[in-house]
Chain A
Amino acid sequence: MSLTANDVTQIAHLARLGIDKQDIDSYTKDLSGILDLMTQMSELNTDNVDPMAHPMDQVQRLRVDTISEQNNREKFMSIAPQAEAGLYLVPKVIE
């Protein structure tokens, strides 16, 4: 299975991942090669197999609904690229 440069551009858009124009071709080639490797999976019939999402087949553990975390808001915001008055700043979204 092979991808086109347009496919890669579309996938990169879905992932909000900037890719330099001059690199599109090499990603297209690499991803197509990786997809070829993936097609080996279709050799095997898996019709009656349950998908395995987790090695332990665990049930989600629940906990008592009490506050366990401290409020570290200032510490967490101190490492933000841009923050002011307790808010994270981003470019204007609404005109």
Chain B
Amino acid sequence: MHTKSLTELAHGLRSGDFSSVELTQHFLNRIKKHQDLNAYITVTEEIAIQNAMAADARLTRGQVEPLTGIPIAQKDIFCTLDIKTSCGSKMLDNFIAPYNATVVEKFNQAGAVHLGKLNMDEFAMGSSNETSYYGAVKNPWNINTVPGGSSGGSGAAVSARLAACATGTDTGGSIRQPAAHCGITGLKPTYGRVSRYGMIAYASSLDQGGPMARSAEDAAILLQTMAGFDPKDSTSVDLSVPNYSEGLNNSLAGLRIGLPKEFFSNDLNSDMAAKLETAINEYRKLGAEVKEVSMPNLRLAIPAYYVIAPAECSANLSRFDGVRFGYRCENPVDLSDLYTRSRGEGFGKEVKRRILMGTYALSTGYYDAYYVKAQKIRRLISDDFKNALTEVDVIMGPVTPTPAFGIGEKIADPIEMYLSDIYTIAINLAGLPALSIPAGFINDLPVGLQIIGNYFTEDRLLNIAHQYQQVTDWHQHTPKGFE
């Protein structure tokens, strides 16, 4: 049952081939069997079975939606009512969320089954899932390599079929990079497309939730439930949501693809370049035209991002003070000691590094030199994309510089780790939608192709991804031992 697509699962449930309880139990058994991957922080077995029983009753009544009775899992950054919501941190190890994120509420209303909460880098800060308080997640394709981050638990769980599909969040690549490393399809929607209400904030002007699934077809179904205006999120965009599945089979004839020369420079790993070239040739066969575009300011995306994101993080994470919820240190001697030690003991090293960096960038005397400068560069990068997207419909490129790297390989060197985000973070600065689809293997590890579109063109991106998945089968490969 775990090999079926969401459409096949929905059909199986409706035609009575299996019940939601059976399907849910099947996934719960797989989660138990493969718990050494460390993909889950919390498995909500009882809730899952209750959800499944309710879904079966709903199926009998005929009140079905595409996700009714389907077992899914949430990145542990989404608040879930009465369920531990840790954000991968010791700071929230004891945090039982008192409300549901809007995204979670929407899945509940759709009748989806809640399997549990997925591992992630602490507060979504990391590119390897190694900064989690709950330990590293292993990549199902090779358990000595990282699954990517920060949505590493989501990537591993979908790849190993420990959930039918999952949610992720992407601030600088945290959906696309683990999707690429785990050989699945991950979409970061346009900023404002999916509600951030109840999604624990890292960098508010960059964070965006999105689907992580086995195919573009599945991702379309997932996004359909997640997307939409939410009055509870002041940055949510009030635009109608198209039907994401409707246009999947549209022809790609005449599609204009831009390849930024800055992405395909000599710095790009030659194996990776060859895989991308093969993928882009498939698009040529499907009728697309390919041309080079230039985005000269892309090279400054990493420095700009690593000023803006830590600055926003240092402000957002000031709420964790040991007073109202979360971790509190033992025997504080005074209020200052309570704040300082609760935060010092509750946060891990990478989170502390970013809080320090952000505090510095926002402090008197440095604000203009770092923060305002980075915001100006953000404008130039965004303009580069706007200009390129007047010449072409979509931009394609790598997701990651290399396939998944080894666990422990980069964790000691933060800059080396930051550079692994080089192809993804500019998209967050601009607020554009982008997805990653499997496009082959290097040394038995999956690699991703990134497709970047104009604002609110998620439907077109999914169509372009789906057409590729009709003529290739990279997305159908399953890691050994998880068939």
Contacts and interface: CB of A to CB of B under 8 A. Distances in A.
* 4 A-B pairs with the lowest CB-CB distances in the bound complex, closest first: A18-B344, A55-B431, A51-B375, A81-B328
Given A33-B414, A34-B357, A80-B325, A15 B314 contact: yes
A14 B358 CA distance: 11
A25 to B, nearest CB: 13
Contact of A91 (B332, B376, B430): B332
Given A43-B300, A55-B192, A91-B334, 12 more contacts: A12-B356, A16-B336, A17-B344, A17-B355, A17-B356, A38-B374, A41-B374, A52-B375, A54-B431, A58-B192, A61-B238, A90-B338
Contact of B344 (A8, A11, A19): A19
A14 B360 CA distance: 9
A82 interface: yes
B382 interface: yes
Given A11-B356, A31-B357, A37-B415, A91 B323 contact: no
A60 B430 CA distance: 19
Given A16-B340, A81-B328, A91-B337, A46 B373 contact: yes
A25 B29 CA distance: 47
Contact of B335 (A14, A54, A91): A91
B324 A88 contact: yes
Interface string A23-43: 100010011011001111111
A50 interface: yes
Interface string B360-400: 10010000001011111111101000000000000000000
B225 to A, nearest CB: 23
Q: Contact residue range for chain B?
A: 35 or more
Interface stretch (B30-38, B251-259, B303-311): B303-311
A53 B314 CA distance: 16
A60 to B, nearest CB: 7
B377 A18 contact: no
B98 A55 contact: no
A79 B98 contact: yes
A76 B333 CA distance: 25
B109 interface: no
Nearest to A49: B376
Interface residues of A, number: 52
A94 B378 CA distance: 46
Interface of A: 3, 7-8, 11-12, 14-20, 23, 27, 30-31, 33-34, 37-44, 46, 49-56, 58, 60-61, 63, 72, 75-76, 78-82, 88, 90-93
B356 A31 contact: yes
A44 B341 CA distance: 40
B285 interface: no
A91 B333 contact: yes
B303 A41 contact: yes
Interface stretch (B163-171, B272-280, B345-353, B474-482): B345-353
A40 to B, nearest CB: 5
A54 B397 CA distance: 25
Contact of A30 (B300, B339, B373, B414): B414
